[in-house]
Amino acid sequence: MASAVFEGTSLVNMYVRGCWVNGIRRLIISRRGDEEEFYEIRTEWSDRNILYLHRSYSDLGRLFKRLLDSFPEDRPELSRSPLLQGL
């Protein structure tokens, strides 16, 4: 599988230095004008680039479930995660 490139740096060599929730934004999600609340997440990468992500509550819930499924030995620590407390 080829690695993705993020502004000239291979993602294989990169990691997230920090991640913060900046707040919640309402975004239009359909042509009918339906809106949904999304968390605005600021991520700082190892090369100091900053990327802003917008994810819904259900996106974060799916992420947490995948983490639990992928790392069953870490379930006790994950259950005390600030992510879970925030959800």
Residue 80 has pLDDT above 70, yes or no: yes
Cβ distance 5 to 11 under 8 Å? yes
Q: What is the pLDDT of residue 50?
A: 92
Element (DSSP H or E) covering residue 57: helix 57-70
Cβ distance 46 to 19 under 8 Å? no
| Architecture of the 15-82 domain | 2-Layer Sandwich (3.30)
Cβ distance 25 to 37 under 8 Å? yes
- Rounded to 5 degrees, φ, ψ at 78 are -65, -30
In tens, the pLDDT along 17-67 reads 888 888 888 877 888 888 888 888 898 989 889 999 888 888 888 888 888
pTM for this entry: 0.54
- Break the chain into its structural domains and give their ranges: 15-82
Tokens 């900053």 sit on residue? 50
